Amino acid sequence: MSRFLSSKYRDLEAYTPGEQPRDMKYIKLNTNESPYPPSKRVIDALSSDEVMKLNLYSDPTAKELKARIAELYGVESENVFVSNGSDDILNFSFMAFCEGDKTAVSFPEISYGFYSVYAELHGVKANVIPLKDDFSIDPCDYMKNDSTVVIANPNAPTGIALGLDDIEGIVKSNPDHLVLVDEAYVDFGAQSAIELTQKYSNLLVVCTFSKSRSLAGARLGFAIASKEIIADLEKIKYSTNPYNINRLSLIAGEMAILDNGYYMDNCKRIVETREYTQNALRKLGFYVTDSKANFIFAKSDKIGGEELYLKLKARGILIRHFSKEKIKDYNRITVGTKAEMDSLISAITEILKEL
């Protein structure tokens, strides 16, 4: 730390992303990327003609991309916000819809690690709510706490989803507060709340191209809400970085929406592979949560979470371990291709034998 850093940020604890190693080739099951490449239309559209245009700024209104997203989800372009990854949208939302002690923010104790980072970054009081013993979210906990609400559905890293009724209950019971539903993993088996944005003016649904649409490296996220909420997000964007989506990512996003069928087929394959892998892990004595995401959350009585993580890493397989006390026995394992999961299962079988 230099002596110039603002006192505001001296104690800030930044988010720790999963490892993105460059030293050797791992089977990478640690950051919930898609194991499948972008669709052919995406690849073809990123032509050298488009690269030639990189001397020009991108469209700050993202008109085409918004129109495509609006069409797919049956809303108007004015109901759509796009940005440089959904992390960007979460950051903007904490800036826009939370305020110090006045409008605190409530989110689950075990959830996406960025929520507490953004709360701290923006000096917002965080009301951190424990999960139930089975790691599920109790919707009642979010109904009357006089604060902005942020919920990942499905939740991470548990993978457990709330039903649409429960989400609607939370939204309905907070008419004077914004409810943000982070649907990063919704395409892998949960119900989206996007349709409810037509009915409730306090609901903001945040989505990403990073997981189900194979574009983690393009950095593209979108959000759907009332025109007024979207206008607020635009205001923050235009006050920070109006060109925050580059030309190539805009094109990639448009083509990905046009090729929606390809991605939804991939999601189906990932769901099948998830169920296959979970069954195999159960046979090896693991406990797994009821995941509706593209990852598995698993623990074994035979081996600690960190030990399994390290032993798999030594064998060239990366998974994600969190040291938080309540989940330290678990690991989060991204669902890759069936072949990758077979390698994982063989490696775990060997590791258990050697104990």
Ligand X SMILES: *Cc1c(COP(=O)(O)O)cnc(C)c1O
Binding residues for ligand X, per CB under 6 A? 32, 85-87, 112, 152, 156, 182, 184, 208, 210, 216, 221
Tokens in use for 148?
Answer: 């902005």
Element (H, E) at 28: strand 27-28
CB of 242 to ligand X, least distance (A): 19
Q: Is-contact 33 17, C-beta < 8 A?
A: no
Which residue, 32 or 58, is less far from ligand X as judged by CB? 32
- Residue 80: burial class (beta carbons within 10 Å; 0-12, 13-18, 19+): buried
CB of 324 to ligand X, least distance (A): 15
CA dihedral 56, 58, 63, 69 (to 10 degrees): 140
CB of 89 to ligand X, least distance (A): 8
**Helical axes 247-258 vs 260-283, angle rounded to 10°:** 80
CB of 30 to ligand X, least distance (A): 12
**∠128-328-110 over CA atoms, to 5°?**
20
Q: Is-contact 115 135, C-beta < 8 A?
A: no
Which residue, 113 or 139, is less far from ligand X as judged by CB? 113
Is the bond preceding residue 157 a cis peptide, omega within 30 degrees? yes
CB of 207 to ligand X, least distance (A): 8
Which residue, 14 or 339, is less far from ligand X as judged by CB? 14
Q: Is-contact 181 187, C-beta < 8 A?
A: no
Which residue, 82 or 288, is less far from ligand X as judged by CB? 82
Rounded to whole angstroms, the Cα distance separating 107 from 299 reads: 24
CB of 1 to ligand X, least distance (A): 26
Which residue, 249 or 343, is less far from ligand X as judged by CB? 249
Tokens in use for 315?
Answer: 């064998």
Rounded to whole angstroms, the Cα distance separating 298 from 331 reads: 6
CB of 230 to ligand X, least distance (A): 17
Which residue, 168 or 182, is less far from ligand X as judged by CB? 182
Residue nearest to ligand X (CB): 85
CB of 256 to ligand X, least distance (A): 13
Which residue, 207 or 348, is less far from ligand X as judged by CB? 207
Rounded to whole angstroms, the Cα distance separating 235 from 233 reads: 5
Neighbours of 6 (CB within 10 A): 7
Kindly report the length of the chain: 355
